[in-house]
Copies of this chain bind each other. A is one copy, B any other.
C-alpha cells in the first residue's frame, strides 16, 4: 500500500466519522426540536365539533348549502363564500372585503379554515364562537345587510328546497328555520373545515415531514419568541395581544388608517391596539396580512413582526427560514370546501 493511499484512506475514514457524528448530533437536535415543538404546539384534532355544537352530517350538509348560497343576503349577490373562497384558501385576497351593496368591511377577512380552533372570532374578538359570528353576520351591515333576522329566514323559507334539509338537521323542532339554527348549521359546517399539514405529521413524530430549512425556521420561530403567542393547535388564535409592542404598528405596516383594536369593542384603554393573535395555519396561502391586510407578502409580514413585536431587524436568511416553516402549515383542503354543493333551484325574486 502506497503512503498516499494510506493517507487517502485515513482521510476518508475521518470524513465518514465526522459525518456520522454530525448526523447523530443532527438526529439529537431533531429529537430535541421535536420535543420542544410538541410541548408548544398540538396537531389538528379529528373535528372541531363540541357537545354543544355537534357536527352532525345533516347540520354540516345544510350549513354547507347556506355557506355557498348568496340568495339570502340583502341583494342576493353575496354569500359566505364571496369573502371565503375555496380557490383562495378561504379568503378573498383583498386587504378588506367588499360586501353587500359594495360596502367595505372594516377589517381583513380571515380564512374560515380551522377557524373553530380560535378561542374567539374576529380580529377584535367580539364574536364568541363560529355560531355567534354567523348569527351576527346575518344582520351584519357589511356581510348580509338585512335589518333583522326575520328578513333572512323569510328569504330562506321562500326557497322550498330548504324545508327538508332544515327538518333533517333540527328534527325535534316544529319551526326549524331560525337564525339560531342557521348559526348552528353554518357553524357545524365550518367546524369540519380542518386542513392537515406537514407540520401535523411532524408533530406526530415524522421529523422528515419538514424540510431542513423548515426545521431551522421552526427553531427560529421558537427561539425568537414567535411561539410564545402563536402556539397551540392553531399556531395562534389562543389569546389577545397588543400589535406593536416596541413600536407603533402602522409605522411598519404602512396602514392607511389606525385601527384601535379591541379598544373599539371594550373601550378599555388596556385594549388599545390589542387584537386576537391570528392562527398561522395556511398563512402562506392567505395574503394579505394583519387586521387591515396592509402587508402583501409573508416575508414582509415576518419582518414587520420582528420589528414591532420583538424590536429586531431579522436577517433575510432567518426570515426565509421562518417563511419555510410557515409554508409547512399549508394544509390539504377538505373536499367539502373545494367543491360547491348544488343548491335548491329558485330565483332571487325582484322586490324581495
Contact = CB atoms under 8 A, between A and B. Distances in A.
A297 B98 CA distance: 31
Nearest to A282: B345
Interface in A309-352: 333, 335, 338-343, 345-350
Interface stretch (A10-18, A71-79, A123-131, A234-242): A71-79
Please tell me how many copies of the chain the complex holds: 2
Interface string A60-104: 000001001111000111000110011111001111011001100
B68 A94 contact: no
A285 interface: yes
A259 to B, nearest CB: 15
SS of A interface (majority)? loop
Interface residues of A, number: 47
Interface of A: 65, 68-71, 75-77, 81-82, 85-89, 92-95, 97-98, 101-102, 256, 284-288, 293-294, 296-297, 333, 335, 338-343, 345-350
Given A71-B93, A94-B348, A296-B346, 4 more contacts: A69-B87, A77-B97, A93-B348, A338-B342
11 contacts: A68-B85, A87-B341, A88-B343, A93-B346, A94-B348, A102-B102, A285-B345, A288-B348, A288-B349, A296-B347, A339-B340
